[in-house]
C-alpha cells in the first residue's frame, strides 16, 4: 500500500501538479501561527474547548478536539481601578474584529478506498480573522486558513459562528496537487456536555 500523497518509486509527477511539500509547508505555517497564537502571553485571549468534525474530499473524514483562542483587536478598554479618578461609569464600545486560532488533535477515519489508509491520527489547526455581527443571535463571520496534518490538506475557509457555540466552515483545501472540497462543524465542548445532560 502506498502512503497517501507519495508516488511509487520511479513514477513521474503528473504535469501541473504542485510538489506535495508545498502543501506541507503551508500547513506547517498554519500550525505555527495557531501555536504562536495559543502561546502568546495575553490577558485578552479567551479560550473555548471545541469538538471539530471535518471532511475534506479524499483526505479527511474525521474529528478533532482542542482549544480555540480568540482575541479582540483594537485598544483595550480602560479598567476602573482603585485610585483612578472617579468620573462615573466608563462606556466601552464593542470591538468587532477578532483574531482566532485553534489547535486540535483527533482521529482521521477516512476510508481506505479514499485515503489509502485506515484510521490515523489527525492534527487540525486554523488561524484567521473574524468579524463580530450584531444580530439578535450573537455570532461571527470571517475567514480562516485551516490545515490538516498528516493528511496534508491546507486552504482557506469561510467561517460562520452562532451564539459562540457552533461554527460552520466551508472552503477548499489544497493537497497533493489538487483542490478538494472542505466542510467542518465545530461545537463548544461545554455546550455539548450541557446538551447531553452532564
First to last CA, the chain: 43
Query: Under a CB-based contact definition with an 8 Å cutoff, are residues 79 and 197 in contact?
Result: no
Closest CA to 96 of 73, 75, 126, 78: 73
Is 52 a residue that touches another protein (CB under 8 A)? no
User: Of residues 4, 98, 126, 174, which one binds another protein by CB under 8 A?
Assistant: 98
Of 9 and 78, which has the nearer Cβ to another protein?
A: 78
Shortest gap between Cβ of 137 and another protein (angstroms)? 10
CA distance 23 to 80: 48
Residue count of the chain, please give it: 198
Closest CA to 104 of 54, 61, 169: 54
Of 16 and 41, which has the nearer Cβ to another protein?
A: 41
Neighbours of 68 (CB within 10 A): 23
Looking only at residues 56 through 75 of this chain, which bind another protein when binding is defined by CB under 8 A?
70, 72
Contacts for 149 with CB less than 8 Å, ≥ 6 apart: 24, 27, 28, 31, 122, 123, 125
Of 98 and 126, which has the nearer Cβ to another protein?
A: 98
Looking only at residues 133 through 152 of this chain, which bind another protein when binding is defined by CB under 8 A?
133-134, 138
User: Of residues 147, 163, 169, 183, which one binds another protein by CB under 8 A?
Assistant: 163
User: Of residues 35, 96, 162, 168, which one binds another protein by CB under 8 A?
Assistant: 96
Neighbours of 179 (CB within 10 A): 13
Is 193 a residue that touches another protein (CB under 8 A)? yes
Contact pattern from residue 3 through residue 42 relative to another protein, giving x for each residue in contact according to CB under 8 A and a dash for the rest: ----------------------------------------
Closest CA to 125 of 188, 81, 73, 184: 184
Please identify, among the stretches 25-33, 79-87, 107-115, 174-182, the one whose residues bind another protein according to the rule CB under 8 A: 79-87
Residue ranges binding another protein (CB under 8 A): 43-44, 46-48, 70, 72, 76-77, 79-82, 86-96, 98, 132-134, 138, 163-165, 188-191, 193-195, 197-198
Amino acid at each position: 500500500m502506498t502512503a497517501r500523497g507519495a508516488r511509487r518509486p520511479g513514477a513521474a509527477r503528473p504535469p501541473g501538479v504542485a510538489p506535495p511539500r508545498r502543501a506541507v509547508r503551508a500547513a506547517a505555517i498554519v500550525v505555527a501561527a495557531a501555536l504562536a497564537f495559543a502561546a502568546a502571553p495575553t490577558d485578552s485571549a479567551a479560550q473555548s474547548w471545541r469538538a471539530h468534525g471535518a471532511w475534506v474530499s479524499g483526505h479527511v473524514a474525521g474529528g478533532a478536539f482542542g482549544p480555540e483562542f480568540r482575541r479582540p483587536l483594537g485598544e483595550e478598554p480602560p479598567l476602573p481601578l482603585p485610585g483612578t479618578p472617579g468620573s462615573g461609569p466608563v462606556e466601552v464600545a464593542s470591538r468587532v474584529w477578532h483574531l482566532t486560532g485553534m489547535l486540535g488533535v483527533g482521529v482521521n477515519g477516512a476510508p481506505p478506498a479514499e485515503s489509502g489508509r485506515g484510521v490515523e491520527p489527525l492534527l487540525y489547526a486554523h488561524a484567521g480573522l473574524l468579524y463580530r455581527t450584531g444580530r439578535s443571535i450573537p455570532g461571527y463571520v470571517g475567514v480562516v486558513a485551516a490545515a490538516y496534518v498528516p493528511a496534508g490538506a491546507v486552504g482557506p475557509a469561510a467561517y460562520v459562528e452562532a451564539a459562540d457555540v457552533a461554527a460552520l466552515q466551508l472552503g477548499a483545501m489544497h493537497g497533493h496537487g489538487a483542490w478538494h472540497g472542505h466542510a467542518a462543524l465545530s461545537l463548544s465542548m461545554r455546550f455539548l456536555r450541557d446538551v447531553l445532560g452532564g
